[in-house]
Amino acid sequence: MTSSRKTDLVCLLGRKAGFERVGVAPAEPIAGRAYFDLWLDRGRYGEMACLARTRALRADPRLILDGARSVIVVAHLYKQANDSRLRREGPGTDTEPDATGPRGRIARYAWGRDYHRLIRRKLHRLVDALRDAIGEPFEARVCVDTAPVMERELAAAAGIGWVGKNTMVVHPRLGSFFFLGEIVTTLDLQPSTPMADHCGSCTRCLDACPTRAFIGPYKMDATRCIAYLTIEHRGAIPEELQPLMGDWVFGCDVCQEVCPYNRSVPPTSEPRYELDDRNPLPPRPLLETLLTWTPRQRQEYLAGSAMKRATLDMLRRNADIAYRNVRNPSQWKDTDAGKQ
């Protein structure tokens, strides 16, 4: 079977597995290695020390699988059909429907079930389907977010989209509200055609960032990013950044909300990415709920959620900052895309 035919099979079976975009990148050193090294050397990664420890692995996917020749990259939409209304009204934010009080905000990707498990299972099923269809032995390693690979660089090389000025992968029809997953494999596949950058002169994402985390187009200082501060940063958040964080308590969607390519994004086809009634948090949690949570409540409500990445102390810290900001709205700008 030719490499081109095998790539066609990969794309066909990937779409059958539920992925909206499937592409192939060559397993070779990433194009952005020089900038990645500079970014690390300047400490832009904050407390994410694993990025520095695994820089060599991330720069070359061949180092995580002997004999690797190709990387299959997939994209899975997570944006909900009625998410604009949900972001405003926030159903399911408390066990009492009529409960009122200051509310926080949670990034869309964390509204449903943990994507790591869902995508990993789908990718393993895709590997099994490929073994049956291709009929030749090969090795494969499934990667989802936590593996030492440069997902966005690989996605761009695989034609999933282009890396936008906000450092997110963007597709002209799918926008950027999608997860990425990879299969590093010894299969010899025909690489997909990379997509041209369509950001043009637009700087809406850069201009909208509340904390000015972008030091330039395509360049981010993670230590100023609200998503980093609320999810990865373990200690006290710098006082000068706290008023700029608004009501975000887990993640941030601002730079994506203002992107023109996210205006008409199709909804997810995966029901498990929809709001889960068992979790009273997303998308607008009562801040007093977070401030008074016990360890047992956190464990109970966040089981199976990507939000378990944040410790109880972090959630309380984030909620305390959001509570003060909501009580004193003059010190921060409401960054809801609908109010831009």
Tens digit of each residue's pLDDT (9 = 90 or more) over 313-331: 999 999 999 999 998 876 6
Report the phi/psi class of residue 13: left, alpha or beta, with left for phi > 0 and alpha for psi in -120 to 50: alpha
Q: How far apart are CA 128 and CA 325, in angstroms?
A: 50
What average pLDDT does the structure give for the chain? 89
Contacts of 330 (CB under 8 A, 6+ apart): none
Which amino acid is it at 170? V
The domain of 318 spans: 83-111+200-269+276-339
Pair 293, 310 in one domain: yes
Crossing angle of helices 295-302 and 312-327, in 10° steps, is 90
Tens digit of each residue's pLDDT (9 = 90 or more) over 100-121: 789 999 999 999 889 999 999 9
| Residues 70 and 27 sit within 8 Å (Cβ to Cβ) | yes
Pair 179, 90 in one domain: no
| CATH code assigned at 62 | 3.40.109
Sign of CA dihedral 147, 4, 170, 89: negative
Asked whether residue 190 is assigned to any structural domain, the reply reads no
Residue that is written with structure tokens 């809406």 in the block: 204
Number of domains composing the chain: 2
Asked whether residue 194 is assigned to any structural domain, the reply reads no
Which amino acid is it at 174? L
The pTM assigned to this predicted structure is 0.90
Which amino acids are annotated catalytic? 145
Q: Could you tell me the pLDDT band of residue 97, with boundaries at 50, 70 and 90? A: very low
CB atoms within 10 A of CB 181: 27
Tens digit of each residue's pLDDT (9 = 90 or more) over 256-314: 999 999 998 999 999 888 876 655 566 888 999 899 999 999 998 888 889 999 999 99
Asked whether residue 45 is assigned to any structural domain, the reply reads yes
Pair 180, 96 in one domain: no
Pair 38, 89 in one domain: no
Q: Could you tell me the pLDDT band of residue 66, with boundaries at 50, 70 and 90? A: very high
